[in-house]
């Protein structure tokens, strides 16, 4: 093998490796795109009824009742700004997640009672332990999640359940409760993150990440008779989801 050929091969190898000499540098910006799946680990307190209007003063605990929140998958996007080769600031976003709210415990047989959408922007401080030249870049993060709920809706099934409870306990005529409204308070909580990038080139790679989010909300259901509020049903809901995402990484 000629010396010239050997040097040419070595030079080509050095050039091929060069993009990874400083794979993650301070000032780099990484964007990751892919499906994000929210899987709640949910529980709720017993529902409680407080009368209003014509039922003012009529309060009722409903032991053994609860609600549950189903899973949903949407399009996720995350971004990281590298403050140093080992420290980054990350943010998680997505298209709005939509969840059915179902009866649980003694209400489990009634199925869907409502639905909601939410957005879960999450800010984390990330640590990348590997050398900056490594193609494989695992990371861990800790930060804060803010979840805002909107477009809350209830179902006719929920109205019928409330109406039957009012009949059985307060002697109201059938059909007294003919509507309802749902409100979910926004949530702020701790978020933990684990992820990994594998870079195929200086700019492109694959990503997988998982978050645990401390997500709690107070749910208030207003029972209506026509336009008149006749009671409020409240429960504390712990959703505490795991969020899973896989996708592509682009660094610039």
Residue-wise pLDDT tens digits, 43-68:
999 999 999 998 999 999 999 999 99
Residue 213: pLDDT over 50: yes
Region label for 7, one of left (φ > 0), alpha (ψ between -120 and 50) or beta (otherwise): alpha
Could you give the CA distance from residue 159 to residue 118 in angstroms, rounded to a whole number? Answer: 23
Find the mean pLDDT for residues 6-34.
Answer: 64
Look-up: residue for tokens 């939410």?
118
Residue-wise pLDDT tens digits, 152-205:
999 999 999 999 999 999 999 999 999 999 999 999 999 999 999 999 998 999
* The pLDDT value given to residue 12: 42
Domain coordinates of the chain in residue numbers? 24-251
What phi and psi values does residue 143 have, to the nearest 5 degrees?
Answer: -175, -145
The reported pTM is 0.86
Residue-wise pLDDT tens digits, 72-81:
999 999 999 9
- Topology, domain 24-251: Porin (2.40.160)
Helix, strand and coil in the chain, % to nearest 5: 15, 60, 25
Using CA of residue 44, residue 48, residue 53, residue 57, what is the dihedral sign? negative
């Amino acid at each position: 093998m000629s010396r010239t050929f050997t040097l040419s091969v070595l030079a080509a190898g050095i050039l091929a490796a060069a993009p990874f000499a400083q794979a993650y540098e301070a000032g780099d910006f990484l964007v990751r795109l892919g499906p994000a799946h929210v899987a709640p680990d949910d529980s709720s307190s017993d529902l409680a009824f407080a009368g209003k209007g014509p039922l003012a003063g009529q309060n009722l605990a409903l032991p053994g009742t609860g609600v549950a929140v189903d899973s949903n998958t949407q399009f996720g996007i995350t971004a990281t700004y590298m403050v140093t080769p080992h420290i980054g600031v990350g943010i998680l976003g997505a298209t709005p997640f939509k969840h059915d709210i179902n009866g649980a415990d003694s209400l489990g047989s009634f199925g869907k009672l409502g639905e909601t959408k939410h957005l879960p922007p999450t800010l984390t401080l990330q640590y990348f332990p590997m050398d900056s030249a490594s193609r494989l870049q695992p990371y861990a993060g800790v930060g804060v999640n803010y979840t805002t709920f909107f477009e809350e809706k209830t179902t006719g099934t929920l109205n019928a359940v409330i109406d039957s409870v009012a009949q059985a306990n307060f002697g109201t005529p059938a059909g007294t409760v003919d509507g309802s409204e749902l409100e979910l308070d926004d949530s702020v909580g701790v978020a933990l993150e684990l992820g990994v990038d594998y870079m195929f080139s200086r700019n492109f790679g694959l990503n997988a990440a998982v978050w645990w989010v401390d997500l709690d909300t107070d749910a208030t259901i207003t029972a209506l008779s026509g336009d008149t509020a006749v009671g409020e049903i409240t429960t504390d809901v712990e959703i505490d989801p795991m969020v899973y995402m896989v996708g592509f990484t682009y660094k610039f």
